Structures are given as structure tokens and as C-alpha cells.
Amino acid sequence: MKRLITPLLILVMTGGVSAQDSNILISLGGPGYGIKIKNNFPGVTSGFARAFTLSNEDGTNDFIALGVYGSAENGISTPNYAYLGRAYNNTYMVFRPNGNIGIGTINPTEKLSVKGKIRAQEVKVEMANWADFVFANDYVLPTLQETESHIKEKGHLPGIPSAAEVEKNGIELGDMNKKLLQKIEELTLYLIEQKKEIQTLNSKVENLQKNQKRY
């Protein structure tokens, strides 16, 4: 018990804890310094619902804030999203009620939406139905004539999104890797077939040459 009382006494004696406008302010020198725990709406219909902030020494500039941005009506608050940032209008990360998280965006459309570049040592995508089905006996390999016709008509490979689609919707990393592998495996089958045809033609040429030498 003494261990708990001693730090509290030190904070109170140094003016480190104070209350102001329904806020609890834990600070280094007075209200608005250091750490602020807020629990009120401003005098408008939307804005901070609650916030935990780390401020600079004069309390005018938040270094980082964790709070809820929402609306208030008749004393009832409706949170729109929780955020982490300098303030709700300078947001680094948001947490939506549906579980979506956004970094660099306040409107994440996926479980994690990032607006900006990502650097990682490794990215692992879990997938099923990998493209090895191309090597199955019942796989119907498109003919080169069919592929050529599709390219002339559409301007891109069959099964691969167009440049306009990618620009509009982006690509799904795992799905696109599967599609690209499918094309590589199809290309491998084409090469194997061509090699067999070339070997057959070479054999015919050799036989013709042997027959010509006899005469």
C-alpha cells in the first residue's frame, strides 16, 4: 500500500494531477502539459469524443493522440472511428467500428488499407488452388491462334486484367501471382509441344537428305 501512496503524493505535491472542464490532466507542471486524458465533446455537433494525448510542454501542440471522432446530439455520442495521430484532422491510423484499419486513410475498405508505400522483409500470402492445374490431364490448353485472336481483340492476355482495370482496381497480389504462373506453365507446355514438332521436322529432313544421297 505504501508503494502506491508514495507516487500519488509526489504527483499531487508537484501539481502533476489536476482536473479542469471534466478533464483529468496528468502533467509535469500544470494543466495542459504532458499527458491529457479528455472525456468531453467540444461545443459543436462533431469532433473529439474522447482522447488520450501526449502534448508538448506548453500544451498547445499534441505530439500524438488516441481518440474517437464522432458526433454528439442531446448528450449522446455516436463514434465514427477511433484514430491515432496528431489530432483527428491529422490522422496516422484509424480504427473503424466494422474492424477495418486504415493507415494514411480514414476510409479503409479492407481489414487493413494503407495509402502509401510498405516495406517489409517478407510477405506471405496464403492461397488455395495454385496454378498447377495447368498440368492436369483434363486441362484444355488454349491454342496459340485463340491467344492471338484474344490479344488482337482485347489488347491483353486471356485471364489477365487490362491496364485500365489495374489502374482502376489495383491487383490482388496472391491472385495475380497465380495468374502469372498459369501463363508461365501454359508457355512451358507450348515450348514442349514446339520442341516435339521441331524434332519431328528434323527427323523428316534427315530422312529426306538420306534419300537424296542414294540417288
Tell whether 13 and 95 lie within a shared domain. yes
Q: Per the domain annotation, does 199 fall within a domain?
A: yes
Other beta carbons within 10 angstroms of residue 173's beta carbon come to: 11
Residue at which a domain ends, from 60, 83, 115: 115
DSSP secondary structure letters along 188-200: HHHHHHHHHHHHH
Number of structural domains the chain divides into = 2
| 79-134 confidence digits (pLDDT tens) | 677 878 876 567 889 898 899 999 989 889 999 999 999 999 998 988 888 999 99
Say if pTM beats, i.e. exceeds, 0.75.
Answer: no
Domain boundary among 87, 115, 143: 115
In this structure, are 106 and 21 located in the same domain? yes
Q: Are residues 96 and 173 in the same domain?
A: no
Q: Are residues 108 and 195 in the same domain?
A: no
Which of 58, 93, 115 represents a domain boundary (last residue)? 115
Based on the domain organization, do 99 and 148 belong to the same domain?
Answer: no
| Domain range enclosing 110 | 1-115
Cell of 67: 481518440
Strand, coil or helix: what is 158?
A: coil
**CA 189 – CA 172 distance, rounded (Å):** 26
Q: Is the dihedral of CA 186, 191, 192, 196 positive or negative?
A: positive
pLDDT beneath 70: ranges in the chain: 1-63, 71-79, 87-89, 215
